[in-house]
Every structure is written in C-alpha cells, then in structure tokens.
Amino acid sequence: MSALAAAPRKDIPRKDIPRKDVPRKDVGRPAKAARRSIVEKAVDEFLRHLREQNSSVHTIKAYAQDLDLFSGFVGPSTWKQIDHIRIRGFLSLLYERGLSKTSVARALAAVRSLYRWLAREGVVEQNPAALVATPKLPKKLPRVPTVEEVNRVLDAEAPETAAFAERDLLLLELLYGCGIRNSELTGINIEDIRYSENAILIRGKGKKERYVPFGESARAALNAYLPARAKVMVTRNQAPRALLINLRGSRITTRSVGRIVKRMAVANGLSSDFHPHTLRHAFGTHMLEEGADLRAIQELLGHERLSTTQRYTQLSVQHLMAVYDKTHPKAK
C-alpha cells in the first residue's frame, strides 16, 4: 500500500468537498456566534432609547438585568408566541429562584415598559404583560423626619472633619428647600441659578426641565458658598460649569452627596438611614402639612403622575395619627 493511501483521511486536503453538516458558504470560515433573538435585539434598542431619554442610570441597570432574564426565558420565540401565560411563567421562575416580591414586581414593570415602547414603535399591538397582576407588596411608607429634626441638621455647626463646610450646608439647603432629587442636585450648573427670581432650573428625569424656587436660607448658604468655590477654582486653575464641586474642582457625585447627608444626620442624633431622598420626602410631607396644594407639590417635585405625589397624603395622615396617639388624652 502506498504512503499516500495509508495516510489518515483528515490529512488529505479536500477543500473541494464540503462537509455534509456545514453549508457550502461556511466552509473555511470561522464559526459564527449564535444569532441574537428578536427579543434580545428589541431589548438592546429599548435600553438605548432609555439612555437617549436620560433615564436614571439605576433604572437602566435594573431593566437590563430583568430583561436579560426575560429574553433568556422566552428564547427564540416571536412576539406572537409570548402571551400573558408565558409571562406568568417567567414570574414563577423568578419566585423559584428565590427572588422577593419586590424584585419580581420590578421585573414585571420592566417587561411592561418594554412592551409599551414596542407598541409605540409599531412592533406589537397588545401588551400581554398588562394582563398579569402585579405581586401584592406590603405597604411600607418611609419614615419622614419632623421639621424639628430637619432643622437640627440644617442649623448645626459643620463637623470639624468637614473638608468643605460651605458646600455641605448648601447641598442640604437645596435638597430640603427645593425638594430635588440627588441626581438633579449634582446636575445643577452655575448658569442655572436665577438670582433675581430666587429660582433654579432643574433637569429632571427624561430630560424634562422645571424651575423650582429657593428661600432665604438657601440664598444665604449660596452666598457663603460661592466665594469658597471661587478659591478652589483659583487653586485648581479650572472653571467647571458645575455648581457643587469637590476640592479637586470636579463636579460632586451623587455618592458623595449621600455620604455627606448621612454624616451630618448621624452627627446630630438621627438615624443612619437618613439619605438625600429622605429630605425630598420631608419637603413634600411638610409642604402638605402646612396646607400646600397637591398639584403645586407635584409641579415642584417634578412628578409625572399625581398618584406619585399622593403618597405624601398617606405620610401626612400617618404623622397626624402619631401626633394624636401621643398627645390626645383619649388616645392613651
């Protein structure tokens, strides 16, 4: 037998004969990655849309995680093959994995949002996720500090360890005095301050803008802060647009704001769960207790729906009941 005939078959180049299990066009080419399903592609486009709409980074991250699980669950299914029963099966899987009702409800909200966007894009006609009931969650209202507790923090002397006391006081005054979100606070630029009108231009969720007024306490804090800010700018030879900066001259981060607020609260005897959103809740609740109109509070807080603002009605009633139980003779 010749050497050629004895050689293993795999060593004989046969480029002219394609393998039976590989299409002719793929011969000699690297294996292609698995094709993404229509659901996965839609999720990518939806998340891109959220980023373009300036949605919260936390919202985008949460939706990405939940929708990744959803697309993995439905696999290569078409939109017509995914009905409300299939979505219920997805939620059941999440429960089996040990997720809490809150996490499952968030995942359902993500799927609903995806379908609403698909409907606006003309991809689907119905939202099967709307037929799936949201898991019942325990009604847990956040504890809102009293006016006295908030004033205790605002009126206190800055800790000796505070590196930028004027800035720390100003951010507290703006969070409580304007009821703005942490991300809205850090996004304020110098040119957004309207001194003659005692108002600030705020950029909220979805790139929506609104003006919120600020009081004399915030103005005084602003007047004390700006000269201190200018000194930092001189030493750092920078001119950022950001109103609130760190000692390096850069825009302060939301994480830094959270640490400052918690440190100030704990230093004045309040709970360690005191955070920037606590002051936003306090703003809405205290305004309502003083007789402010719910619609006005909605505008100031930048809520899209009045139902979101109505939570402060519950908080206010809760506060009144606590006062009643504590002070009324017949309640004891």
Catalytic residue IDs: 181, 205, 277, 280, 303, 312
Supply 309's token pair.
Answer: 């603002």
CA distance 58 to 251: 19
**CA 147/CA 323 separation, integer angstroms:** 13
SS3 of 193, please? strand
CA separation, residue 199 to residues 123, 176, 193, 236, 244 (Å): 43, 14, 6, 29, 16
Cα–Cα distance for residue pair 215/312, rounded to 1 Å? 22
Of the candidates 149, 146, 113, the one whose C-alpha atom is nearest the C-alpha of residue 129 is: 113
First-to-last C-alpha distance (Å) of the chain: 109
310: number of CA atoms within 13 Å, CB side? 3
DSSP category for residue 32: P
Do the Cβ atoms of 136 and 198 come closer than 8 Å?
no
Which pair of tokens denotes residue 117? 């966007």
Cβ-contact 70, 39 below 8 angstroms: yes
Q: Are 232 and 249 in contact (CB under 8 A)?
A: yes
